[in-house]
Structure 1
């Protein structure tokens, strides 16, 4: 059980006890965060970024850590999220293994790692934790909250549960609730981990680690993060140069298989399996409609922001385009100047991480209009 915390990450202590949505509580818990830019005298230039399942708080290089971050092309001086103008806060999700309290953290009550003793985790718990970070940093009202993927869910929960916390919202490849296809994929990912004998009901060690389960879970994820169009254009049916070893008659044969294997091996020891299980399940449980008798559109209409932008891509099979259109329509019904922007990127759900030529101008243009 290992936490993977970037250099320069800072922390905000959560109220103790910190009540969880589905029962239970955390004591002496904390949330990891990083910042860029300066908060102005009026304290009205703050932007919050809430992330997908796996990223840490290090979205881009900063004074505390010059290493490139996971959203490096988007955030920094002169970039689409311009730190010369904005004070940007990025939080690591509650329940993660990248600095915030989660299943890989030591439980102060026992002195042992939480593992499966960690309380059931909901997206709303991450939203409440992020709100506490914002206020601990002296910000009463954000200029904008930006949520990517799972972070799009967290952002909607934040805006609903903390009315008035932000003037504007950018939802990127997010959703009000998980669709059956997404639930099915994540269910298979969790099953791959749980059925690995080394998982041992969450009681694994570095020496006995569910590597096979994590590899399969990651491969399933990567396949859905991109599109069939990109897989075809990038790899086609190109085979590996070397012949298959005789002892592995069904081993890797195509370049796409080798790519998935390499990607998975780089991930498996850099993310805690129990944290993966908890955060994955939290997405399946989330349903904004529960705050309006099951009516998602009514729940969206109760969110009060001045301006909003919902961005998605045509090739996203995990968070399909109709989910971002639904967000824009619902926020507009609540009085927001809300725009829906479908992009033609071939790169699927991960497009916001790599297709900066499309996403960068969209985000910059929206923020310039605030």
Structure 2
């Protein structure tokens, strides 16, 4: 087990006795973040970004780390989330292996990585840890909280559990709960990891002989198939073959099509850059989240009670993982509570991951919304 922490990552220590919603406590835990832009004197120009399942806190290149971030073309000077105007804080989710305390972190009571002894994780824990970080940075009220995918769930949970912490919301490809199809896919991903003999009930080591590489590669391939759309696969790959590929009589099932090569390349890169146990915990907490259950009521009632000035809710017609009707539900629920809502149904071919790559479509409405609340 190993953590993968960007060089410019900063940390906030959570109070000892941090209580997890589904049982268990964390002592000596921390939350990782990076901040870009300049905090103004009134401390009211803060945009908080809550990530999806796998990103770290390095959202964009800056003076302390010039490598491109995971949302490089969206965040920065003159970009849709303009760091000449906004002070942007990106938080790595609790339970991750990218700096925040998770299964790959050392348990202070044993001196060994938590592994499967880590308490069951919930989206509510992720939200509470982010709220503690915001207050530790002496920010009373966020100008806006931005969440995409799992981060969209975390943003809703944060707003429900910490009323008044943010004035505005940008929710991208989010949901109030996971649907059966998405739960089924993530269940297969977890099974792939846990079925790898090298997973060893979560007690693997980070070396070639003891790391569940096969399970992680298969889990990532399954994920990639849901992050993009069938329409994009058709347009991007068709039935094109890998160049220079010759089928071996002894290995007739090696990748032959370009789409197979694409999946294999992504899986190979990901397999050794994310902790398998963190993958299991974060994946499961997405399945378990239900905004209504979280606050002891219905989902619509939870959305209606949010006291926000304005919200931008964006979804994509080709998203099969968090379908467009789930974003429409968020927009409708917020309107019932009096929030001024802009709802955007985009036609991007890139599916659930469109917000990461289709800046041409996502950038303008995000930039316009942030200009209006400025």
TM-score (norm 2): 0.98
Report 1:161-240 matches (<5 A): 161-207=161-207, 208-240=210-242
The answer to whether the Cα contact below 8 Å between 2:50 and 2:155 also exists between their aligned partners in 1 is yes
In structure 2, the partner of 1:63 is 63
1: CA distance, partners of 2:222 / 2:131: 32
- Measured in 2, the distance between the counterparts of 1:67 and 1:258 equals 26
> Quick check: 1:335 aligned with 2:338?
yes
- Inter-partner Cα distance in structure 1 for 2:196 and 2:318: 32
Aligned position for 2:131: 131
Q: Distance in 1 between matches of 2:38 and 2:364?
A: 23
2:57·2:92 contact (CA, 8 Å) conserved in 1?
yes
1:328-360 CA-to-partner distances (Å, cap 9, x unmatched) read: 110111110012100010000010000000000
Q: Deviations over 1:67-124 (max 9, x none)?
A: 1100000111111101111111000000000000000000001100000000000000
Q: Distance in 2 between matches of 1:244 and 1:159?
A: 54
1:294 CA displacement: 5.1
- Contact 1:104–1:115 (CA under 8 A) maintained in structure 2: yes
**Cα distance between partner residues in 2 of 1:311 and 1:236:** 29
Q: Distance in 2 between matches of 1:72 and 1:117?
A: 35
The RMSD of aligned alpha carbons is 0.8
Match of 2:314, SS state, is strand
CA distance in 2, matches of 1:273, 1:34: 24
Please tell me whether residue 36 in structure 1 is matched to residue 39 in structure 2.
Answer: no
Show the counterpart of 2:300. 297
Per the alignment, do residues 361 and 23 of structure 1 end up closer, same or farther by CA in structure 2, a change over 3 Å counting? Answer: same
Equivalent runs, 1:114-125 vs 2, <5 Å: 114-125=114-125
For residues 60 and 242 of structure 2, what CA distance do their matches in structure 1 show?
35
2:314 equivalent to 1:316: no
Q: Shift of the alpha carbon at 1:138? A: 1.1
* 1:114-148 per-position Cα deviation (integer Å, ceiling 9, x unaligned): 00000000000000000011111110100000001
Deviating beyond 3 angstroms after TM superposition, the runs of 4 or more aligned structure 1 residues are 291-294
Which whole-Å CA distance do the structure 1 matches of 2:296 and 2:110 have between them?
40
Does the CA contact (< 8 Å) of 1:94 and 1:126 recur in 2?
A: yes
Tell me the SS of whatever aligns to 1:90: strand
Distance of 2:248 and 2:300 partners within structure 1: 55
Query: For the Cα contact (< 8 Å) 1:102–1:118, is it kept in 2?
Result: yes
Does residue 21 of structure 2 align to residue 18 of structure 1? no
Unpaired runs of at least 5, structure 2: none
Report the Cα distance in structure 1 between the residues aligned to 2:269 and 2:352, rounded to whole angstroms: 20
Between the aligned partners of 1:101 and 1:244, the Cα distance in structure 2 is 45
Contact 1:292 1:298 in 2 (8 A): no
Q: Provide the C-alpha distance between the structure 2 equivalents of 1:188 and 1:43, rounded to a whole number of angstroms.
A: 45
CA distance in 1, matches of 2:300, 2:250: 56
CA shift digits 1:279-325 (9 cap, x unpaired): 00000000001146552111111111110011011000000000111
Superposition deviation, residue 239 in structure 1: 1.5
Q: SS where residue 151 of structure 1 aligns?
A: helix
SS of residue in 2 equivalent to 1:369 = helix
Partner of 1:280: 283
1:358 aligns with 2:367: no
Q: Distance in 2 between matches of 1:88 and 1:238?
A: 42
- Provide the rounded CA distance (Å) in 2 between the counterparts of 1:184 and 1:136: 38
The aligned counterpart of 1:93 is 93
**Structure 1 unaligned blocks of 5 or more:** none
Decide which moves more: 251-260 or 151-160: 251-260
Number of aligned pairs?
A: 370
d(CA) in 1 for partners of 2:177 and 2:248? 45
Distance 1:19 1:293, change over 3 A: closer
TM-score of the aligned structures, taking structure 1 as reference length: 0.99
Cα deviation for residue 240 of structure 1 reads 2.1
